[in-house]
Structure 1
Amino acid sequence: MSGTDGVEKIGQAVDDIGAYIRRQREGAEVSLRQLAKVAGISNPYLSQIERGLRKPSAEILAQIATGLRISAEALYVRAGILEPREHSPVLDALASDTELTERQKQVLTDIYESFRRGNAAETSTVTGTEDAALAVAAIDAAAQAVEAPAQRTS
């Protein structure tokens, strides 16, 4: 791949992410002004992102994702920041849940993936005690993730 091929791919990623954001915004029936306000960016900047003239940072993508109530991960993959992950019905459901914060989604994803890694790494039978210890650790982590935002707001 030559240097110009890499520049072309980056340019294509910028165009793709902008078009994707516009489609998501229009599908959610949110105006450019509304999304810009929620995302904490200017109308012209959001317009430039949508037209592929600007490449947004990961932080701006997260703010836009929050404004659109979609997964920041989906935008990161579209922008070439993250590699696509293996599809899983559980992870897909978590990513699309609008009732959870991004932080809560990440904690639940981490717990789920740790269980899967643990199961894959097992060469012998897990005892009931080990299963219970994993479940308690998962519940503790989830409880801390849920309590942390509540403590910040009080």
Structure 2
Amino acid sequence: MNGVWDAQRRALGSFIRDQRRLARLSLRQLSALSHISNPYLSQVERGLHVPSVRVLSAIADALDLSAETLLEQAGLVREQAGPRPGPGSRGETGDDRAVERAVRADRRLSQAQKEALIAVYRSYVESASPPEHAPDLGTRR
């Protein structure tokens, strides 16, 4: 089990470093934006420490990511397996979740753009789904 945690810690650090580089921030700049010490951030990026939820949240804010994204990368939150029904929705399918995962993973988009795209996608999917208890009008005459 220790090997799994070590790999997860290194993967999280690598993900944070990649996101920082994509944002074109130095370690010092991320430190200033997140109010986390430069040496500690360096250790997190190298996989030497598992940061607290507070630290992950501060890093996420500084990188314009959702805290949920970093928590998933840290292995602290698993992606929801079941459907997430919304108003008038019959719930999500595996395809729906795959689309949302792809949008969330696109590093070219800001967090606000990702949320907007997902909201639009969900609205289209919900409007395309037949109501749960709609009468079958084709069989009545």
Superposed pair shares fold, TM > 0.5: yes
Q: Look up the match of 1:64.
A: 59
Equivalent in 34, 43, 46 of residue 29 of structure 2: 34
Equivalent runs, 1:1-150 vs 2, <5 Å: 6-85=1-80, 87=97, 89=99, 98=110, 100=112, 122=132, 124-125=133-134
Corresponding letter in the other structure for 1:57: S
Corresponding letter in the other structure for 2:134: T
Change (3 A) 1:99 1:72: closer
Q: Which has the higher contact order (CA 8 A, sep 6+)?
A: 2
TM-score calculated relative to the size of structure 2 = 0.62
Q: How far is the alpha carbon of 1:20 from its aligned partner?
A: 0.7
1:18–1:50 Cα contact (<8 Å) kept? yes
Corresponding letter in the other structure for 1:33: R
Identity value in percent: 35
Change (3 A) 1:120 1:29: same
Q: How far is the alpha carbon of 1:125 from its aligned partner?
A: 3.1
1:54-100 Cα shifts (integer Å, max 9, x gaps):
10112211110111112222211110011124525467657976464
Give distance in 2, aligned partners of 1:62 and 1:120.
39
2:64–2:111 Cα contact (<8 Å) kept? no
Number of residue-to-residue matches in the alignment: 110
Give distance in 1, aligned partners of 2:104 and 2:77.
18
Q: Runs of 5+ in structure 1 lacking a partner? A: 1-5, 127-154
Which of the pair is proportionally richer in helix?
1
RMSD over aligned Cα atoms:
3.2
2:56–2:71 Cα contact (<8 Å) kept? yes
2:65–2:111 Cα contact (<8 Å) kept? no
